[in-house]
Homo-oligomer: A and B are copies of this chain.
């Protein structure tokens, strides 16, 4: 979970995830949405891969990335619970 939270703490990587939520994209297609080098894009994709948030699929010369739904949902669950515990505390007090 640590790698997931670090992964989504960077704005570029959150934007990558937002784009991939809409559709699978190649590295080149992804990079059209940013002002960074291909090497930097690879760096961010490596972090997302390390957190198992994305999955690469080679097709010819291109590599297409897509969201790893199961990890994405696990992360959602963790973060939601982390924050909602406060709501629970509030109810206890009232």
A interface with B by C-beta (< 8 Å): 2, 5-6, 8-9, 11, 14, 17-18, 21-22, 67, 69, 72-73, 75-76, 79-80, 82-87, 89-90
Contacts and interface: CB of A to CB of B under 8 A. Distances in A.
Nearest to A72: B86
Which label, helix, strand, loop or mixed, suits the secondary structure of the A interface?
helix
The quantity of this chain's copies bound in the complex is 2
A69 B83 contact: no
> Which has the most chain B C-beta neighbours within 10 Å: A9, A14, A22, A86?
A86
Contact of A11 (B2, B9, B67, B84): B2
A90 B69 contact: yes
Nearest to A11: B2
